[in-house]
Amino acid sequence: MSRISTDVAVIGGGVIGLAIALRLRADGREVVVIEPNEPGSGASYGNAGTIADYAVLPVGTPAVLRNLLPLLLDADSPLSIRTSALPTLFPWLARFAWESLPHRYRDNTRRIAELLSDAPAAWREFAAEIGASDLLSTRGCLYLYKTQKAFRVAATDIALRRSYGVAQQLLSPDEVLRLEPRLPPVEGGGLFFPGAINLIDPGETMRRLSAKVHQAGVTLIQASAQRIVRQPGGTRIIAAPFEVRARTAVISAGARSQKLAAQIGDRVRLDTERGYHLEFDMDEPPIERPVCPTERGFYFCPMHGRLRVAGLVELGGLTAPATPRLVQKLTANARGIFPNLGEPSRTWLGFRPSMPDSVPVIRPSRGGRDVILAFGHGHIGLTLAPRTARLVSALITS
Ligand X SMILES: Cc1cc2nc3c(=O)[nH]c(=O)nc-3n(C[C@H](O)[C@H](O)[C@H](O)COP(=O)(O)OP(=O)(O)OC[C@H]3O[C@@H](n4cnc5c(N)ncnc54)[C@H](O)[C@@H]3O)c2cc1C
Residue ranges that bind ligand X, judged by CB under 6 A: 11-17, 34-37, 41-44, 46-50, 52, 224-225, 252-256, 275, 277, 310-311, 350, 352-353, 375, 377-383
Residue (171 or 382) nearer to ligand X, CB: 382
Minimum CB–partner distance for residue 94 and ligand X (Å): 23
Of 36 and 317, which CB lies nearer to ligand X in the complex structure? 36
Nearer of residues 228 and 337 to ligand X, judged by Cβ: 228
Beta-ladder partners of 6: 246
Instruction: Give the residue among 276, 252, 280, 202 at the shortest CA–CA distance from 372.
Output: 252
Query: For ligand X, which is the closer residue by CB, 184 or 299?
Result: 299
Please give the biggest Cα pair distance in the chain: 66
CA distance to 6, 159, 384, 390, per residue, from 23 (Å): 16, 35, 14, 7
To ligand X, the closest distance from the beta carbon of 274 in angstroms equals 7
To the nearest whole angstrom, how small is the minimum distance from the Cβ of residue 35 to ligand X? 5
Is the Cβ of residue 17 or residue 60 nearer to ligand X in the bound state?
A: 17
User: How far from 223 is each of 13, 36, 372, CA to CA, in Å?
Assistant: 11, 4, 20
Closest approach of ligand X to the CB of residue 315, in Å: 13
Distance CA 215, CA 213 (A): 5
Cβ distance to ligand X smaller for residue 116 or 150: 116
Question: CA 220, CA 205: separation in Å to the nearest integer?
Answer: 18
Question: What minimum distance in Å lies between the beta carbon of 254 and ligand X?
Answer: 3
Q: In whole angstroms, give the CA distance from residue 7 to residue 53.
A: 33
Residues 51/125, Cβ–Cβ less than 8 Å: no
Quick one: which of 398, 189, 143, 393 has its CA closest to 287? 143
d(CA 273, CA 283): 31
Q: What is the total residue count of the chain?
A: 398
Residue 381 CB, shortest distance to ligand X, in Å, is 2
Give the nearer residue to ligand X in terms of CB position, either 49 or 286.
49
Q: Is the dihedral of CA 290, 324, 91, 34 positive or negative?
A: negative
Report in angstroms how near the CB of residue 367 gets to ligand X at its nearest. 19
For ligand X, the closer CB: 116 or 183:
116
- Closest contact distance (angstroms) between CB of 152 and ligand X is 26
Q: Containing H/E element for 198?
A: strand 197-199
Phi, psi of 370 (to 5 degrees): -75, -15
- Short-list 319, 318, 338, 320, CA closest to 278: 338
How near is the Cβ of 290 to ligand X at its closest, in Å?
7
Instruction: Between 172 and 234, name the residue whose CB sits nearer to ligand X.
Output: 234
Cα angle 206, 311, 53; round to 5: 65
Report, in Å, the least distance between residue 186 CB and ligand X: 21
- Neighbour-count burial of 236, counting CB atoms closer than 10 A to its CB (0-12 exposed, 13-18 middle, 19+ buried): middle
Cβ closer to ligand X: 46 or 234? 46
The one-letter amino acid code at 317 reads G
Half-sphere exposure of 305 (CA within 13 A, CB side): 5
